[in-house]
């Protein structure tokens, strides 16, 4: 069920009210607006500690116009499990339980909880929006930080590869796994709605750009996300347990072929987090990108 820009306009209600606390140009808020918006009348949100727990608001009220439970950093998939089971018990299985959290909870502190919920095949969707960093605490390295990125805990550049949680979830036999990008919102919302139509544990990672932590101009937010796909850094795909196959998403198809890819420096040069990146680091980053593609290719 491909989603068009027109479809994006037909939301039951606004999920993200104006005047929220996200930074100007926040890709996470952008993705939230459309995805949660598309099912705003039947969703229950579970939000671990992250920027999303901050940009939703504070004090007077919240910008999230859907039921929202904020949880401890590592607790969200278990809380979501409890909600999903309770709703089942109450005969309200039609409600969609969605975890909306960052890479910190999904890739690091909360991954055991997430793998556990996946293992139990809980009927929930986990959306991991990744800015490749602990944004809320000011930009420390996360498991999803890529090689070469300067963060406040890797000031001279991170040396370890990205964790690639989608692969882990494939290996962990999720019902459905997909990657997405804030530059391709129709693609993202399509995957989001598809995931919600399936029973069991679904996982989507969406890379979103984050001006303060990527140290980029807010105006470049979407552009950088798009370049992430075009440089091949961030391959968009779907994987389904039923087929055990990966299907490359349209925006990424072309970039499987290395020659077709936009040079990585077009992407790095727009971001302060890559200032000072060395040739070797670029090489290592490319090698790790190829590793990811190789993993994907095994399932094509």
User: What residue ranges bind Mg ion (CB under 5 A)?
Assistant: 102-103, 131, 135
Contact 195, 178 (CB under 8 A): yes
* Residue 244 lies near a copy of itself (rule: CB under 8 A): yes
* Residue 21 lies near a copy of itself (rule: CB under 8 A): no
Which residues have C-beta within 8 Å of that of residue 280, sequence separation ≥ 6?
none
| Residues binding a copy of itself: number (CB under 8 A) | 29
Q: Which helix (H) or strand (E) holds 218?
A: none
From 35, 36, 81, 102, residue interacting with other proteins (rule: CB under 8 A): 81
Given a copy of itself, ligand SF4, ligand TPP, none, residue 49, with its beta carbon under 5 to 8 Å by kind, binds ligand TPP
State the Cα angle at 205 between 202 and 207, rounded to 5°.
165
Q: How far is the CB of 78 from other proteins (least distance, A)?
A: 3
Given ligand SF4, Mg ion, a copy of itself, none, residue 103, with its beta carbon under 5 to 8 Å by kind, binds Mg ion
Q: How far is the CB of 104 from a copy of itself (least distance, A)?
A: 12
Contact 58, 150 (CB under 8 A): no
Beta-carbon count within 10 A of 120 CB: 15
**Phi, psi of 204, deg, nearest 5:** -130, 130
Q: What is the 8-class DSSP label of residue 227?
A: H
From residue 31, give the alpha-carbon distance in Å to each of 25, 222, 298. Answer: 11, 11, 29
For residue 87, is it left (φ>0), alpha (ψ between -120 and 50) or beta? alpha
From 31, 109, 133, 233, residue interacting with a copy of itself (rule: CB under 8 A): 109
Stretch that binds a copy of itself, among 12-20, 62-70, 113-121, 225-233 (CB under 8 A): 113-121
* Region 40-79 residues binding other proteins, contact defined as CB under 8 A: 41-44, 46, 49, 53-79
Using the structure block, give the residue that is written with the tokens 């095949």.
121
For residues 240 and 261, what is the distance between their CA atoms, to the nearest angstrom? Answer: 26
From 127, 169, 222, 233, residue interacting with other proteins (rule: CB under 8 A): 222
Contact 275, 150 (CB under 8 A): yes
Binding string, residues 110-139; x marks residues near ligand SF4 by CB under 6 A: ---------------------x---x----
Q: How far is the CB of 137 from Mg ion (least distance, A)?
A: 9
Given Mg ion, ligand SF4, a copy of itself, none, residue 26, with its beta carbon under 5 to 8 Å by kind, binds ligand SF4
* Residue 47 lies near ligand SF4 (rule: CB under 6 A): no
Given ligand SF4, a copy of itself, other proteins, none, residue 44, with its beta carbon under 5 to 8 Å by kind, binds other proteins
For residue 8, is it left (φ>0), alpha (ψ between -120 and 50) or beta? alpha
Q: What is the 8-class DSSP label of residue 109?
A: I
Interface positions with a copy of itself (CB under 8 A):
74, 108-113, 115-116, 119-121, 143, 160-161, 163-164, 167-168, 170-173, 244, 291, 294-295, 298-299
């Amino acid at each position: 069920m491909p989603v068009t820009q027109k479809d994006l306009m037909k939301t039951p209600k606004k999920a993200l009210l104006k005047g929220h606390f996200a930074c100007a140009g926040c890709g996470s808020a952008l993705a939230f607006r459309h995805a949660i918006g598309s099912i705003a009348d039947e969703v229950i949100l579970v939000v671990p500690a992250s920027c999303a727990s901050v940009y939703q608001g504070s004090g007077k009220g919240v910008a999230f116009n859907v039921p929202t439970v904020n949880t401890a950093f590592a607790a969200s998939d278990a809380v979501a499990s409890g909600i999903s089971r309770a709703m089942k018990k109450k005969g309200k299985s039609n409600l969609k339980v969605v975890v909306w959290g960052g890479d910190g909870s999904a890739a690091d502190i909360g991954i055991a909880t997430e793998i556990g919920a996946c293992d139990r095949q809980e009927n929930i969707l986990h959306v991991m929006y990744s800015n490749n960093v602990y944004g809320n605490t000011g930009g420390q390295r996360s498991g999803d930080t890529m090689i070469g990125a300067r963060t406040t805990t890797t000031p001279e550049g991170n040396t370890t590869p990205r964790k690639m949680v989608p692969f882990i979830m494939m290996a962990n036999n999720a019902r459905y796994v997909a990657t997405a990008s804030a530059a391709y919102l129709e693609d993202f919302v399509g995957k989001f709605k598809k995931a919600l139509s399936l029973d069991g544990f679904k996982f989507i990672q969406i890379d979103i750009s984050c001006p303060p932590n990527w140290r980029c101009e807010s105006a470049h937010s979407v552009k950088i996300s798009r370049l992430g796909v075009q440089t091949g850094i961030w391959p968009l795909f779907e994987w389904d347990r039923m087929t055990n196959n990966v299907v490359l998403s349209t925006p990424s198809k072309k970039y499987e072929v290395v020659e077709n890819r936009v040079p990585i420096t077009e992407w790095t040069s727009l971001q302060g987090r890559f200032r000072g990146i060395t040739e070797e680091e670029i090489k290592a980053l490319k090698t790790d990108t190829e590793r990811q593609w190789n993993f994907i290719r095994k399932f094509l």
